[in-house]
Chains A and B, each alone.
Chain A
Amino acid sequence: MSTRQSLEQQPQSFSPQSLSGKGTPLRDRIFMWALFLALAVGVFTLAVLLIYVTVKGWPRLDLRLITNMPSVRDPENAGAQSALTGSIWVITFTALIALPMGIMAALYLEEFARPSSKFQRFIEVNIQNLAAVPSIVYGILGLAVFARALALGQSVITASMTLALLVLPVIIISTREALRAVPRSIRDGSLALGATEWQTAYRQTLPAAVPGIATGTILALSRAIGEAAPLLLLGAVSFITFNPDGVLSNYTTMPIQIFNWTKESREEFQILAAATIVLLLVILLAMNFIAIWIRNRTQKRW
């Protein structure tokens, strides 16, 4: 009864003055500014970097960059065509290897494996760990297994397989998350109609998870396309003036080309490197944009 009494008393204490307050407390405002500052530092650094490379590479940001081959003697007219096509070759085969494997592994873990078993937990922890392994370690693995043991040498397929291993954990993790976001009720509805677990996974869960899988995969591949460390170890440093013509062809990629040019002392090469960095960033941003576009377009209304 005491609450009722106090509620009855309240109307008397209401007056126009009581609606005015002290506004947002100082502590809240300081906190808000701290949050903003943290964001500003990140955005500012990125902006400086972007402006710096764009300004520096501006003289060479023209079609010659993608129509001409690298050249030691003629940096004025050299381009990065072999690096661009090399990157496309490598990333295409990375996707062809990592995508089916990653999706199948995630489907197994999410839809078929017994969730409580020790084996399952062991696998899960290790996939998380693999995603955190430095890329140079994958380079060592690729060098030992693909380049030497399988004698594939300094070829596109060696690079693709190594990068596929690198992005596989990320693809598995993001695919599992996409599958997990599909509501249980969709699976129940399918199973209650007499569909098998495989039919349910293949015809309902997987199609419903496609937007999430696509987003995660594109982001993983955009990480792979910027990788230089493992490829350096695989021996992609060689100076290449031709486009790859097959999976066993020699190759170079954009990060490698940038790395090579920045080692040169002549200013023309530095400008060329900056221009190639801008090209690489444009490709990365485009890939991320596609990922965001897919996500927004296919947002699910469960």
Chain B
Amino acid sequence: MSTPDEVTLKLSSSMLRHGSELPLHARETVFSLDDVSVFYGDYEAIRNVTLPIGKNEITAFIGPSGCGKSTLLRSFNRMNDLIPGARVQGTVAYHGTDIYGPDVDPIEVRRRVGMVFQKPNVFPKSIYENVAYGPKVNGIKGNYDDLVEECLTRAALWNEVKDDLKKSAYALSGGQQQRLVIARCIAVRPDVILMDEPCASLDPIATAKIEDLMGELAKDYTIVIVTHNMQQAARVSDRTAFFTAELDDNGIRHGRLVEFGPTRELFSSPSDKRTEDYISGRFG
């Protein structure tokens, strides 16, 4: 077993994303979470999270299973609304507007904040229809050919599928399907893309393609990614939030935010012992 220092040294020297690491206050914040807790009925899945998400940055959420990081991610585009009994406390501000405010339409939120899921959930339709679906339901009329080409190109899929646009999306491989989901997502021209373990069901080569793509997309979009893969977080993200599950006084598990900071710092000199244990593989 290598010491934590060795591991983090390796990570920081070769794997960190060399993006601009402006201090957060110098960047525009897209999302600003203030004391956010998410409940499923009476159960508090994640508790008191305060966190900013910087524009055109990739923010990674890492932590063990059951720490509520996916739950928190789903509160960014009100996907939790769809789960009966789910409720959000605190403020999730998007460009200054509380998205859980009384006048906010969750449909509008989801148009601006897209989502890519763990399992590539392409629609049982053609590749073309998958990409055109978002604009179609959002009332954009006309010819989608250019849009479909643009989105597939940006998702690094165009060259592989340009002759098969009418084919079922199910004919694609898992990695291609996930890139199609990303193309579908950017077709509605969102501002933020949420990714919930987007590479969990992919092989290393497909994963590498998605990771490269994320770096490209971050030029135009703000990305929040949940990942179980710490190397992935280290490779792709600008900032990392580490969550863990803690027992409260009544013995009930709640997700907590332990540490949030620039990825390089978090991996090389974590300020919290729990973060250090987790990233060095000594967790649990």
Query: Residues of A with Cβ closer than 8 Å to B?
Result: 114-116, 183, 185-196, 199, 203-204, 207-208, 300-301
Contacts and interface: CB of A to CB of B under 8 A. Distances in A.
B79 interface: yes
Given A116-B84, A183-B121, A185-B119, A192 B77 contact: yes
A195 B108 CA distance: 9
Contacts of B84: 114-116
Contacts of B110: 191-194
Contacts of B123: 186, 189-190, 204
24 contacts: A115-B84, A186-B121, A186-B124, A187-B82, A188-B115, A188-B121, A189-B122, A189-B181, A189-B184, A190-B123, A190-B133, A191-B79, A191-B82, A192-B79, A192-B110, A192-B114, A193-B133, A193-B134, A194-B107, A194-B110, A194-B134, A194-B138, A196-B137, A207-B124
A119 B119 CA distance: 34
Contact of A196 (B107, B117, B124): B107
A71 to B, nearest CB: 53
Contacts of A183: 121
B148 interface: no
A175 B188 CA distance: 32
Interface in B98-131: 107-108, 110-111, 114-115, 117, 119, 121-124
B111 to A, nearest CB: 3
A207 B126 CA distance: 13
Interface in B167-223: 170, 181, 184-185, 188
Nearest to B181: A189
Contacts of A195: 107, 133-134, 137-138
8 closest A-B pairs (Cβ-Cβ)? A194-B111, A185-B121, A192-B115, A193-B134, A195-B137, A189-B121, A194-B110, A199-B137
Contacts of B119: 185
Contacts of A196: 107, 137
Given A186-B123, A301-B170, A193 B137 contact: yes
Contacts of B114: 192-193
Interface of B: 77, 79, 82, 84, 107-108, 110-111, 114-115, 117, 119, 121-124, 133-134, 137-138, 170, 181, 184-185, 188
Contacts of A193: 110-111, 114, 133-134, 137-138, 184-185, 188
Given A195-B133, A204-B123, 14 more contacts: A186-B124, A188-B82, A191-B110, A192-B77, A192-B79, A193-B110, A194-B111, A194-B138, A195-B107, A195-B134, A196-B137, A203-B137, A207-B124, A208-B124
Contacts of B115: 188, 192
Nearest to B194: A192
A207 B123 CA distance: 11
Residue of B107, B114, B137, B181 with most partner-chain A CB within 10 A: B137
A85 B111 CA distance: 53
Contacts of B122: 189
Contacts of A190: 123, 133, 137
A191 B81 CA distance: 11
A300 B185 contact: no
Contacts of B184: 189, 193
A188 B117 contact: yes
Nearest to A195: B137
Contacts of B138: 193-195
Contacts of A189: 117, 121-123, 181, 184
Nearest to A204: B123
A203 B79 contact: no
A189 to B, nearest CB: 4
A116 B77 CA distance: 24
A116 B85 CA distance: 10
Contacts of B117: 185, 188-189, 192
